[in-house]
Amino acid sequence: MINFVKTTEINCKISQQSERKQIMDQSKSTTRWLQQFAAFLLIVGIAFRFVNLGYKVYWYDEVHTSVRSSGYLLDDLIPQIYTGQLIRARDLVEIYQYPTAEKSLKDAFTSFRKHPEHSPFYYLLARFWMQIFGHSVATIRCLSALISLLCFPVMYWLCLELFQSATVGWVGMGILAISPFHVLYAQEARAYSLWTFTILFSSAALLRALRVTQTNQAVKSKRLAWGIYAFSLTLGLYSHLFSVFVYLAHGIYVFGLKQWRKFEYIIPAISAVLLSVILFLPWLIIIFTNFPDLIDNTSSHRITRPGTMLFWGLNLTRLTFDFNQGYSLLNPILYPIIMIAGYSVDFLVKKTPIKTWFFIITLMGVMGTALILPDLFWGGQRSTIARYGIPSYLGLQISLAYLLTTKISDNFLKSQLKKRWKYIFLGIGFSGILSCLVSSIHPVWWHKSYTRSRYVSPVAEIINLSKSPLVISDSEPGRILPLSHRLKPNVYLQLVVQSNIPLLPEQDFSDLFLYRPSEVLIEGIEQVYQANLEKVYKQGWLWRVELPE
């Protein structure tokens, strides 16, 4: 009997050890799969950031980047090039959209000051980048693409600080890498990939500083941690003014939790903020002295768009699925994405300690509130502009990374349910890949403003087919300069201010075109030269002028 009991106990121990080993093997296998699939998404996402960099239309806002970095303002170009004299497309690009000896760094800062709503760091980087590596659309966009690569290590670092899990960090990097939204802005000659980096960097730096302060490390280590945080704050403010809302979220997090509301945390946190404000003071003075310009330059944001709430849903779907779809309640992908996003936040709050979920909730909530409330109470379109919601989207993506990692790694979850979550992760990954693939072969996508950019490419193709064309226009520089990048270098343009009718040159051109002309220019050409005008492309973007024999 005793031997039987001993044998039974031994068998039970062996069985338990076997079960533990099996669970550990399953856990290792699941972790390996998650990290490998995330690494695959990371590699593919990096590749997409450099695919067809020079192919997409260099649109209105990107032209602003080039012009400001070169030391000009768009209004400065009117007296210089809207003279009725012939100018080549090459000269429009090389003289006015890339740094030259004609315009110094001082001139660039003068142009920056006229647009105080845009922090200057990215434009300064772009200027030096173009001076070193030359001027082409692909070259300047490469700067943004390279900056976007810095987002991956800081995403990993932030997830590690929040969850103490390398696997969540890998999944977070994979989701960020293959997100079609982030890929689009990694290919734009604009500051949004830099802003994404500073949001993640400052968030991780804050959590590390709080963690280091909590330990018994040397005072020097604590000062270094808070110094890095102060640097990240300053970098963020000089990258995008909306960083203020990110740092407000940080402040709510620190003051909102009892464990951080202590002398040893509050004093260094306030010191870091004060230091960053002092370092940002030069631009802060420029903002206040040029505040009327800021108000005037952002006036379009106060115009209400129809379907505001539908835009919120559309922008959310673009994080994982983007086929250039419009907003609609009938969009079948909208509802599952909203459900998964909502569930990921709910799961985060229920399954993580308050110091983890409260950080992500404040990161999402402060920026979202700052955009949504003004639109609801006073009207406007701030909350419908997808790029402004980057802090909220990053919080959602981190929540999703935690949800997927936890569900797929949960050894106590039924295998059928684990498989479902695996398929969801696979679906998110391959949806992102397909979205990036489709958008990479189209010259214009939603983020380039269809009303400003949609016909630039086909119009340029028509003009370039002509043997020796002349393009006449009285349209604003923001419409002309994007076209100049897609025209053959030796195509001539004749630009005039509105109400002026150009004196046609004696030089023999095979074709005369009007590009986005005003009614005054159309009627003037018809009356003065007895010409027949033929609409060549949609909505009057391009006209062919037939002069009498």
Asked if residues 372 and 147 have their Cβ atoms less than 8 Å apart, the reply is no
- Answer yes or no: do 464 and 441 share one domain: no
Average pLDDT over residues 99-104: 88
- Identify which has the larger pLDDT, 521 or 18: 521
Range from 151-155, 324-328, 500-504, 544-548 that averages highest in pLDDT: 151-155
User: How high is the pLDDT of residue 6?
Assistant: 53
User: 32: how many CB neighbours lie within 10 A of its CB?
Assistant: 11
CA distance 41 to 179: 10
Report the percentage of the chain scoring pLDDT > 70: 95
User: pLDDT, tens digit, for every residue of 429-451?
Assistant: 999 999 999 999 999 999 998 88
Average pLDDT over residues 59-67: 94
Structure tokens at 499: 């109400």
User: How high is the pLDDT of residue 330?
Assistant: 82
Q: Is 256 part of a structural domain of the chain?
A: yes
User: How high is the pLDDT of residue 231?
Assistant: 97
Asked if residues 362 and 249 have their Cβ atoms less than 8 Å apart, the reply is yes
User: pLDDT, tens digit, for every residue of 160-218?
Assistant: 999 999 999 999 999 999 999 999 999 999 999 999 999 999 999 999 999 999 988 88
Q: Is 17 part of a structural domain of the chain?
A: no
pLDDT tier, 16 (very low <50, low <70, confident <90, very high otherwise) = very low
Q: Is 23 part of a structural domain of the chain?
A: no
User: Last residue of some domain: 430, 450, 470?
Assistant: 450
Average pLDDT over residues 361-382: 95
Question: What domain count does the chain have?
Answer: 2
User: Last residue of some domain: 450, 472, 490?
Assistant: 450
Q: What one-character DSSP code corresponds to residue 500?
A: P
Asked if residues 44 and 101 have their Cβ atoms less than 8 Å apart, the reply is no
- Answer yes or no: do 164 and 254 share one domain: yes
Q: Is 11 part of a structural domain of the chain?
A: no
Cβ contacts of 386 within 8 Å, gap of 6 or more: 181, 315, 318, 447
Which residue intervals of 383-531 are DSSP H helices? 390-409, 415-440, 450-453, 456-465, 477-484, 519-529
- Pick from 393-397, 412-416, 461-465: least confident: 412-416
CA distance 239 to 122: 6
Q: Is 253 part of a structural domain of the chain?
A: yes
User: Last residue of some domain: 417, 450, 483?
Assistant: 450
Structure tokens at 418: 């684990």
Check whether 409 has a pLDDT greater than 80.
yes
Residue 480's domain comprises 454-546
Asked if residues 486 and 460 have their Cβ atoms less than 8 Å apart, the reply is yes
User: pLDDT, tens digit, for every residue of 456-494?
Assistant: 999 999 999 999 999 999 999 999 999 999 999 999 999
The Cα angle at residue 295 between residues 289 and 301, in degrees rounded to 5? 150
- Answer yes or no: do 412 and 461 share one domain: no
User: pLDDT, tens digit, for every residue of 288-308?
Assistant: 999 999 999 998 888 988 889
Mean pLDDT of all residues belonging to the chain: 92
User: How high is the pLDDT of residue 390?
Assistant: 97
Of 138, 123, 135, 132, nearest to 72 by C-alpha is: 123
User: How high is the pLDDT of residue 548?
Assistant: 86
Q: Is 35 part of a structural domain of the chain?
A: no
- Answer yes or no: do 339 and 256 share one domain: yes
- Answer yes or no: do 315 and 435 share one domain: yes
- Answer yes or no: do 490 and 351 share one domain: no
CA distances to 252, 258, 268, 479, 485 from 262, rounded to whole Å, are 14, 8, 11, 55, 57
- Answer yes or no: do 167 and 279 share one domain: yes
In this structure, which long-range contacts are made by residues 135-140, counting pairs with CB atoms below 8 Å and at least 24 apart in sequence?
A: 135/93, 135/94, 135/97, 135/98, 136/54, 137/53, 137/54, 137/58, 137/189, 137/485, 138/53, 138/54, 140/62, 140/65, 140/66, 140/189
User: How high is the pLDDT of residue 19?
Assistant: 47
Residue where the block lists tokens 């003068």: 110
Average pLDDT over residues 42-59: 96
User: How high is the pLDDT of residue 292?
Assistant: 93
Q: Is 331 part of a structural domain of the chain?
A: yes
- Answer yes or no: do 428 and 464 share one domain: no
Task: Decide: residue 527, CB within 10 A, 0-12 exposed, 13-18 middle, 19+ buried.
Answer: exposed
- Answer yes or no: do 198 and 210 share one domain: yes
Q: Is 266 part of a structural domain of the chain?
A: yes
- Answer yes or no: do 389 and 480 share one domain: no
Asked if residues 409 and 30 have their Cβ atoms less than 8 Å apart, the reply is yes
- Answer yes or no: do 432 and 458 share one domain: no
- Answer yes or no: do 492 and 431 share one domain: no
